[in-house]
Amino acid sequence: MRIATWNVNSITARLPRLLAWLESSGTDVLCVQETKTTAEGFPTEALREAGYESAVNATGRWNGVAVISRAGLDDVVSGLPDQPAYDGVMEPRALGATCGPVRVWSVYVPNGREVGHPHYAYKLEWLEALRAAVAGDAAGTRPFAVMGDYNVAPGDEDVYDPAVFEGLTHVTPPERAALAELRATGLGDLVPRPLKYDRPYTYWDYRQLAFPKNRGMRIDLVYANAAFRSAAKDAYVDREERKGKGASDHAPVVVDLDV
């Protein structure tokens, strides 16, 4: 079973590449982030024609998550039970679903903007709500993973130059401590193998030739319980999908499971 996560940075803009990638990669389940569309505007029919069911949590131009599956799609949960609001809005950032023998959450963690900004405090509150929401499945025996764009690099080795990020979001001790609390529920960081360079970055800014220079970050993560990790036979970043015209600024992270 092949499961992946991908921040597509607009599913409308990326749809031709997404459909081609699903076919060429043979992916069974895809967790999608940053759909940037409404649920009504989501390409459900195009994906159905390609053999995939869709579960969507999306409300408009920003954010939005989905799970796309050809392995079943049951027990869908939209949003976190105790999810905080930001500026009075409950943003569409999480969706859980059972796909055959595996349960997954697709998550798009708030960016945080800058240290001290209200969005940074919201990010930490949101991560705590995520921890509480997934603790039961994390400790269970069914293969389970929380996959998506965490907007946090777990360690200094997960950014191309720690000095560049000093004092910025994505690398601060409180953010990394929140990830540690999430792992304490029974989840482990399933680190993909690098296919070209020595670090498996997943995100490269569109600006300043960041991708050709490999000035990246590993912020798209697969946090998986013991059953999921023991079933994992391979994990890698599909760096090729970050290349070319019309690419997202994130690459898919792919996991092959023996289940």
Tell if the pTM clears 0.75, that is, is over it.
yes
Q: In the 3-class helix/strand/coil scheme, how is the chain assigned residue by residue?
A: CEEEEEECCCHHHHHHHHHHHHHHHCCCEEEEECCCCECCCCCHHHHHHCCCEEEEECECCCCCEEEEECCCCEEEEECCCCCCCECCECCCCEEEEEECCEEEEEEECCCCCCCCCHHHHHHHHHHHHHHHHHHHHHCCCCCEEEEEECCCCCCHHHECCHHHHCCCCCCCHHHHHHHHHHHCCCCEECCCECCCCCCCCCEECCCCCCCCCCCEECCEEEEECHHHHHHEEEEEECHHHHCCCCCCCECCEEEEECC
Q: What average pLDDT does this structure show over 29-36?
A: 98
Would the pLDDT of 147 be above 90? yes
User: What CATH number corresponds to the domain at position 99?
Assistant: 3.60.10.10
Q: How confident is the model at residue 196 (pLDDT cuts 50, 70, 90)?
A: confident
Q: What average pLDDT does this structure show over 9-28?
A: 98
* Structural domain total, the chain: 1
Q: How confident is the model at residue 197 (pLDDT cuts 50, 70, 90)?
A: confident
pLDDT tens profile 58-83 = 998 899 999 999 999 999 999 999 99
Q: What average pLDDT does this structure show over 200-224?
A: 97
Q: Which domain holds residue 70?
A: 2-257
